[in-house]
Structures are given as C-alpha cells and as structure tokens.
Amino acid sequence: MTDDTTWLDATAQADLVRRGDITPSELVAAAVERIEKLNPELNAVIHRQFDQAVKAARSQAVGKGPFPGVPLLLKDILAHEAGQPYHCGMRVLKDANWVEPSDSWLVERFRAAGFITLGRTNTPEMASTVTTESFAYGPTSNPWDPTRSAGGSSGGSAAAVASGMVAVAHGNDMGGSIRVPAANCGLVGLKPTRARTTLGPDFGEYFGPTTHQHVLTRSVRDSAAVLDAIAGPGVGDPFTALPSARAWAAECGVEPGRLRIGYRTALPDGAQPDPEVVTAVEATARLLEALGHDVSAVELQPLDEPTLGEAIPIAFSAWIARDLERWGQRLGRPIAPDELEPMNGFLAEMGGAITSVQYQAALEALQAWSRRMAAVWAGGVDIVVLPVTPTPPVLLGEMAPDAKDPFGLITDLVRMVTFTMPFNVTGQPAVSLPVHATASGLPVGVQLVGASHREDVLIRVASQLEQARPWAHRHPPQA
C-alpha cells in the first residue's frame, strides 16, 4: 500500500473508503504492490487472485459492509472459494490441481462484510503443526527475521499482516494456530469461543471440538469488529456460542473494572520457558496490577494432569486419518499415508488403528478435563495470563517436516502447544497480544484466557493493554 495507508488497520482503511478519501481499487492496487514486493522473500501468499480482486473492487457491492473494499487474504484451509485452488498444504492436492466448487459460509460472510480477497496464504500440511514449512509450498519466513518461523498453522496469514501486505487475514486455530503465529509475528490473534463462527456448510466440527475460526490483525479493534461481522451460527450448526450483550467493537476502550487475574509461566514438568517468555508474562502481570487489577500467581492444576497427553494423541491421529480418507473420497482414489509428510503419515497410520471405543473414551476424558479447567474461572478468576509458546520464534528448519523422526517432531509439537492446546479443548476464548520483544527485536506474544463466551472481557483488557503499551508503531525491518 502507499506510505499513507500501509500500516493503517482495517477499520481505518474502511473509514477512508466511506469518506471518499480512497477507493477500494486504490486499496487493492496498493496491497497487490506490497505482495509482489515482499512475497518473494516471505512466501506468505501461495495463490493469487489479483484479477478477480480488481474486478471486485470496482463493484458497488463492496460498499455495503463494515469493511468496504478492504483487502483480505484467506488461509488455505477451511475457507474455500468457488473456482479457486484449495490445497491445505498437501502435495497430493497441489499435484491434482484441486479447485473447490463452492464457497464456505465464512467466505460468504467475509464478502458480505465488504472484504476483497486477494489470494490464499501458506499453511503447513493439514494445518497440523506450529511452523509453516510444508513440502508442498515451502517455508514462510518471519518478517522480523527471515531465518525464523512465522509460526503455524496460520503462518502465511501472520507474515502477510505483519509485513503490511494486508491489514487483516483469515486464520483458524486447532491447537494454537492463530495465537502462535500472532505471537511470532507481533500481531493480535484472538481465538474466539468454540462455535462463535461457523464451519459450514462442510462441517459441524473439524478436528473434533478443537477448531476455531477468526482472523489475525494488528489492532484489537479490528479483531473485535471482524468478529462482529462474521460471528453467529450457520443453518443446522450443531452448536453455537452464547450471543454477546452488545457489539464486541463497542467493548474497545471500555473500562474493564477491577478484575481478578492470575498468571503462570511454568510448564507441566516444572521447567520454565525461555527467559524472554517469562519476562513477557511477568511484565504483563505487573502492568495489569498497575492498571488496577488484582493479580496473583495461579496454579492452574489441570495443566499438570496427564489427561491431555494421553487423550489428544488418540483423538488427533483419528482426525488426521479421517481427513486423509475424506480427501481420498473427494479425489476418487485412496491416499496412502506415505503420500503425506512423515509426521502426518505416522499419525494417519496410528489413527487408522484406533477403535471407535478408544476414540469415544478419549473424547470423554477431554470433556471431563475441560470441566476441571473451566472451574478455575468459575471459581473466581476472570482472566489467566500465560505464555503462548515456551520460546520466541524458532529457526526455520528446527521443526520442518524432515527435521526429525515423526515421534521427535510430535514431542516438540506437544511442548510448543502446552499453553495453547488446552483452550482449544475447553473452547474458551484466548488472545495473543504483542506486548513484548526480545533484545534482538523478535516479537513475543502473551496469552490472555477468559471464561467461555466472555470475549467482551478479553477485548476490554486487551484494549486496555494496547493503550498502556502501544504496539502500532512497531514494524518489521523487512517491511
């Protein structure tokens, strides 16, 4: 975008369009220019729809939503468009030149909000890990340091927003896939309450109860306003979240009152994360205390139980196996596990051997564990502050699909999602905020977790932190 609009958030861009100070065509042209300039190094955008976007920008329809003509990028999984490639990071779909025949309902909602899609962003194969380095499309680099990972599985979207290609990009979160790349790239990454947005028409659930859809942004107000635009059940959805009392965008800047806030840094084995991560969490706790909240360490005992470590591998491998089978049905031929990257192939084979009884037992264990975790909030805590990941952004290659044997990669992955996966299981809303940076300038996000259905509380506190410790002025050197 032009120097005047590159670092404006989507709300500000939309306001310019409404005032007639800029046209959707100009916004699209500027975003295209940024992508063409930066993408060769970052590899964030893997499918381009520039001609279609230019035509859409000239349409009168873009003026009807809250984000008229604002450019958007879609993660290449769980947000498909009719006539566009859709590969989910899988070589087998790339080789088949797979194109989706229809829109997902979320894409329809983005379009109704006025967004104009410019293309699709890179993601790891089957969105199954926290770094974006698939065999199909290669690694996405972190704009703050191209030798580092942008995170995953919404890594392409995060790199695109952090580098100024667009102000907002779609993401989804099955175990940390919005929050991890947001933390790695210095963004706001809100995972809403489970079922706050629809997975229709394809799914009622995806990867069991763990999948949540939303966006990555540079401002809290953008995250809140986009949620206003896309939230709500689809026809026939099996579950829905409780409605909000008012628009989430209206919560920005609202005094949250004196809240009870807990914090924790320790991993389940008693070890501490990287010192920069500990510093980030503890500094945020002190800032919240200075802002008038009651802040204290919290045990969060369910995090130390073995339940997740026992049940998630059973459930996760079954979900990978089912995804492989479903894509084989769509392609019209079976897909062998060895057509996947090694870790996913290993999980698919493992999942194929799991019985229905074992799978149901794992789900019941996760549901019981979720009640124990949610009891922490029901027992008198409004928000818990946690790390997002135990380390700052990892070097590219450290967790690449061929970096280790599958079991070694799974071990690393489990550790990386220690603080994020639990809240995919419980379905609670959680947000990563870019409140800290290392001495070398790498972003380190801090996670705030709220009670189920209480995005309003999270947004108020996130907005309070954004005002107290602004981050809008921080931009990657590569951008």
Burial of 313 (0-12, 13-18, 19+ CB in 10 A): middle
- Could you confirm whether 37 is annotated as catalytic? no
User: Is 199 in contact with 109 (CB distance < 8 Å)?
Assistant: no
Q: Given 153, 244, 370, 432, which residue is catalytic?
A: 153
Residue with tokens 């859409």: 56
d(CA 477, CA 274): 24
CA Rg value for the chain: 21
Angle at which helices 24-42 and 50-57 cross, to 10°: 160
Listing DSSP states for 251-294 in one string gives: GTT----S-EEEE----TTS----HHHHHHHHHHHHHHHHTT-E
The three-point CA angle 151-234-351 to 5° equals 50
Q: Given 157, 177, 317, 432, which residue is catalytic?
A: 177
The amino acid that residue 48 corresponds to is R
Name every residue whose Cβ is closer than 8 Å to that of residue 234 and which is 6 or more positions away in sequence: 105, 198, 199, 200, 201
User: Is 179 in contact with 171 (CB distance < 8 Å)?
Assistant: no
- Could you confirm whether 75 is annotated as catalytic? yes
Burial of 234 (0-12, 13-18, 19+ CB in 10 A): middle
- Upstream peptide bond of 201 is cis (omega within 30 degrees of 0): yes
Burial of 269 (0-12, 13-18, 19+ CB in 10 A): exposed
Residue closest to 277 by CA, chosen among 141, 392, 127, 411: 392
Residue closest to 173 by CA, chosen among 152, 156, 159, 158: 152
Residue with tokens 């498909």: 80
Q: Given 75, 134, 154, 219, which residue is catalytic?
A: 75
Neighbouring C-beta atoms of residue 259, cutoff 10 Å: 19
d(CA 429, CA 382): 12
- Could you confirm whether 104 is annotated as catalytic? no
Q: Which amino acids are annotated catalytic?
A: 75, 153, 177
